[in-house]
Amino acid sequence: MNVQQIKQRFSIIGNFYGLEHAIDIAMQVASTDLTVLITGESGTGKEVFPQIIHSLSARKHGSYIAVNCGAIPEGTIDSELFGHEKGAFTGAHEARKGYFEVADGGTIFLDEIAELPLSTQVRLLRVLESGEFLRVGSSKVQKTTIRLVAATNVNIIEAIKNNKFREDLYYRLNTVPIDVPALRKRGSDISLLFRKFASDFAETYRMPTIVLTEDAKHRLETYKWPGNIRQLKNMTEQISIIEQERTIDGEALVKYLPDHHKSNLPAVIGGQIDKETFSSEREILYKILFDMKNDMSDLKKLVHDIISDSQDSSEVRKNNANLIEKLYEENEVSEKPEPIKDFQFSRPRDEEISDTEEIVEESLSLSDKEIELIKKALNKYNGKRKHAAKELGISERTLYRKIKEYNIES
């Protein structure tokens, strides 16, 4: 089974390299009993990877239990995981098996593992190292052969520094790490996911499928998506139900994107900037500057081509004048026309010029040329920046910046 077949089987949408790499690691490690730690932001779809690992392993006919560690109260987490004996605590009216006993020979997925209390982490470490555990209120050692897959959206290294997570447990869990990429890094995958969700909701609510314009797709793919896939799915459902118009443009989409107009630059908190965030934002700034440089190069080339065309037309007129004169000579015509002069009109010598003639020297300033070209393009398309930008061969973002820089009325 290859990556594409896995994506189809588990309804995974997207072609981003980081996503396919994570799936590939899950496929490779499935045939082993190694412990896997899945990391990634909340809402990125980490829960599908333990399912892939279990389904491709020799344990696929055994039990698969998913446990959300953050949803179980601290006082009962040990009982839930390892079981308890009758009378072990108030309310323990009978003995009960824990997840590690029930799933023996199968797979346990511990989601939000960083939420485990330190005392429970000690118990878990013993299970991973020796396969042994004790029920709450019992002194009898139990054995288990479970396969453990854990996941967290917390920075474990920081949790270790803050004494909230055991370092030895981290290294025992992190035998094979799988990092699930955040949605904002996946580019065109965002539009694919939106289209899939829109189709599903259209079928559920029996209404036409909503479609995005190119501007809306651009806004969708450049938004930061703090809630990742979960946020995208919820937003798609909102639009599917609320919007009457089934074609959604950028302005309509922005209403559903919280903090869309806020700056995405890293905020300074307590005098420090998170290194990971700064690195990501710096890459984005580099890309924007690189795109701006390319846009300027394209604009310079366009101006150069226009100037070259003007010079070429002058040469054509001169060549035509020489050709006409040569034809008259070959045909022995006595009266020859006056030679064509470039950018001038011939007048009789005795004719008086009644009006004052002003000769304006053409400006060769690049900025003046840019302003002139931008105004012509905007006038041609009645102020529509998208079409004007396409005519000029630059991005709409660059055109907007130029209009603002030169204070051009559009």
pLDDT tens over the chain, length 410 residues: 899 999 999 999 999 999 999 999 999 999 999 999 999 999 999 999 999 999 999 999 999 999 999 999 888 999 999 998 888 888 888 888 999 999 999 999 999 999 999 999 999 999 999 999 999 988 899 999 999 999 999 999 999 999 999 999 999 999 999 999 999 999 999 999 999 999 999 999 999 999 999 999 999 999 999 999 999 999 999 999 999 899 999 999 999 998 765 544 444 434 444 444 445 555 566 567 666 766 677 777 777 767 666 555 556 566 656 655 665 555 554 454 555 444 444 444 444 444 444 444 555 677 777 888 888 888 888 888 888 888 888 888 888 888 888 888 76
Q: Which one-letter amino acid corresponds to residue 369? A: K
The one-letter code for the residue type at 362 is E
Rounded CA-CA distance 402/372 in Å is: 12
pLDDT for residue 200: 94
Residue 95 Cα to chain centre, angstroms:
50
Query: CB of 192 within 8 A of CB of 36?
Result: no
The pLDDT of residue 374: 84
| Per-residue pLDDT, 314 | 58
| Stretch(es) of the chain classified as CATH 1.10.8.60 | 184-254
**Tokens at 288, concatenated:** 């924007």
CA-to-CA separations, 402 to 195, 215, 264, 375, in angstroms, rounded = 34, 19, 22, 11
Domain boundaries 184-254, corresponding CATH code: 1.10.8.60
Separation CA 407–CA 405 (nearest Å)? 6
Domain with CATH 3.40.50.300 in the chain: 3-181
Which contiguous run of DSSP H or E holds residue 266? none
The CA distance from 232 to 256, in Å, is: 10
Phi, psi of 109 (to 5 degrees): -110, 115
Does residue 247 contact residue 213 with C-beta atoms inside 8 Å?
yes
pLDDT of the residue at 326? 60
Distance CA 399, CA 41 (A): 35
Neighbour-count burial for 112-123, b at 16+ CB within 10 Å, e otherwise: bbbbbeeebbeb
Q: Please report the pLDDT score of residue 343 as a whole number.
A: 43
pLDDT at 286: 58
**Alpha-carbon dihedral angle through residues 224, 228, 231, 237, given to the nearest 10 degrees:** 100
CATH of domain 3-181: 3.40.50.300
The structure tokens listed for 300 are 């310079």
Both tokens assigned to 301: 């080339």
